[in-house]
Structure 1
């Protein structure tokens, strides 16, 4: 009598045992897969940051050279060259600090913005188009939001040490008279991340490179450097051009750095406005980058 003729037959029992044996390994594999995805789902941003930081090793020589060379060249040129001429002509006209002391916080903030433009422009477009690592990462348990957060963290890994090195050279050149001058590092990093977050939100929308980034650098970022009170007080500009500085995050970051670096006189409400303005730029860019990236990766 076959096992299928009776629910208690041996054949049915054997089949059930065989089924349990087939399901066992599958269940183990499923549990292992779920366990393997737990950490990426929770700490995905750190995984992305590690990946991007390791990728930076490909051009670490350039990072080190510019991180040390730029402050030396700029501070030496301005401290020994241009500052000598400026101080000789305006030093007796009510100037309270040397020109080098005035311009150093602006150079620090500009260095942070430069790093942000390097890391939040072509590398972001490349991760979507030329080397679509974002799509590969999105196929894992890591979410698009974590991809954006990881990119932000990786830029901080480069930006913060670079700003610290720049500040140390400012100390060597005697350009930081205030005991709380180290806070200008935070002002510079906030400026760089504010610009970088908005830049990332824009670059994330690009489907191809038709010169948009180059145009943005030339007609957006270059005027920002020139009209943000970087090398001279904003008040020296004609009134019809000063508004460019007022809306520029670099001006707000520079002025905030000057308050910390040498105690530049300004009302407290304006200092608070600098902080809030930079925070608004960063939050807007960060949230917009998350939204655009999620929409693009989850099509």
Structure 2
């Protein structure tokens, strides 16, 4: 990752600065100006939005690292086959990718959280727990994306469609910019199955003490963990099958 470390750091610093200022400060001033300082869930719009943007940053890293780099390793510059020709096993390749992406994701989320503190968007004493929650959210989504990418023999637009028809709707309909219950009932199911909604809701519990039944917090953790386990297992199976042909 040293070869593009500058890009990683630039996006890790630039994204929270731009998003928190534009959405959390610029848009928040309009929302709070019309609805008051306790505009959403009894807190300011900036405090409400910041945990969602934190989880979204992990999703952004996942959608970047688990798509085209995976295609690169299998097809465009098939380094995975070179690794497999050594004593490294396919499952170890998958584990190594998850660990390396988790390291970048953790750095990105930690920097984002620092900017949340700078902007005064974390009133809760346990707000720092939102960072590992965001990490779990990103890995839960990313493991599934990695497994899906491992099924592709050629990229004929599938990864671009993944961004447009999965990542973008997930961002818009996961209670990110407004509470999920404001959506019509026939659209709320998108949030219920979205890892971003589960991660965002759990992050808000720690970031500002959003009231939530303990059983629902447990459901968030179990759901994200299950997605990560399924994606990890699926990716290992597919990688083993593909590299050993």
TM over 0.5: yes
1:88 and 2:55 aligned: no
Name the CA distance, whole Å, in 2 between partners of 1:97 and 1:149.
40
1:109 and 2:44 aligned: no
CA contact (8 A) 2:39 2:45 kept: no
Name the CA distance, whole Å, in 1 between partners of 2:105 and 2:37.
37
Shift of residue 77, structure 1, vs aligned partner: 1.4
1:66 and 2:11 aligned: yes
| 1:1-299 map, 5 Å | 56-91=1-36, 95=40, 96-299=42-245
Q: Deviations over 1:179-206 (max 9, x none)?
A: 1000000110000000000000000011
Name the CA distance, whole Å, in 2 between partners of 1:260 and 1:76.
22
Higher relative contact order (CA 8 A, sep 6+): 2
Name the CA distance, whole Å, in 2 between partners of 1:259 and 1:70.
23
Distance 1:196 1:292, change over 3 A: same
Name the CA distance, whole Å, in 1 between partners of 2:25 and 2:72.
41
CA RMSD of aligned residues (A): 1.1
Name the CA distance, whole Å, in 1 between partners of 2:80 and 2:187.
40
Distance 1:61 1:94, change over 3 A: closer
CA contact (8 A) 2:90 2:236 kept: yes
Name the CA distance, whole Å, in 1 between partners of 2:239 and 2:102.
20
- The count of aligned residue pairs is 244
CA contact (8 A) 2:31 2:39 kept: no
CA contact (8 A) 2:32 2:39 kept: no
Q: Deviations over 1:144-165 (max 9, x none)?
A: 0000000000001111111101
Distance 1:244 1:136, change over 3 A: same
Shift of residue 94, structure 1, vs aligned partner: 6.7
CA contact (8 A) 2:37 2:43 kept: no
Name the CA distance, whole Å, in 2 between partners of 1:298 and 1:198.
21
Shift of residue 230, structure 1, vs aligned partner: 0.3
Shift of residue 81, structure 1, vs aligned partner: 1.1
Helix, strand or coil for the counterpart of 1:240? helix
- Structure 1: tracts of 5 or more residues without a match: 1-55
Question: Higher mean Cα deviation, 143-152 or 77-86?
Answer: 77-86
Name the CA distance, whole Å, in 2 between partners of 1:198 and 1:253.
16
The runs of at least 4 aligned residues of structure 1 exceeding 3 Å deviation read: 92-95
Name the CA distance, whole Å, in 1 between partners of 2:200 and 2:118.
20
CA contact (8 A) 2:37 2:44 kept: no
CA contact (8 A) 2:191 2:197 kept: yes
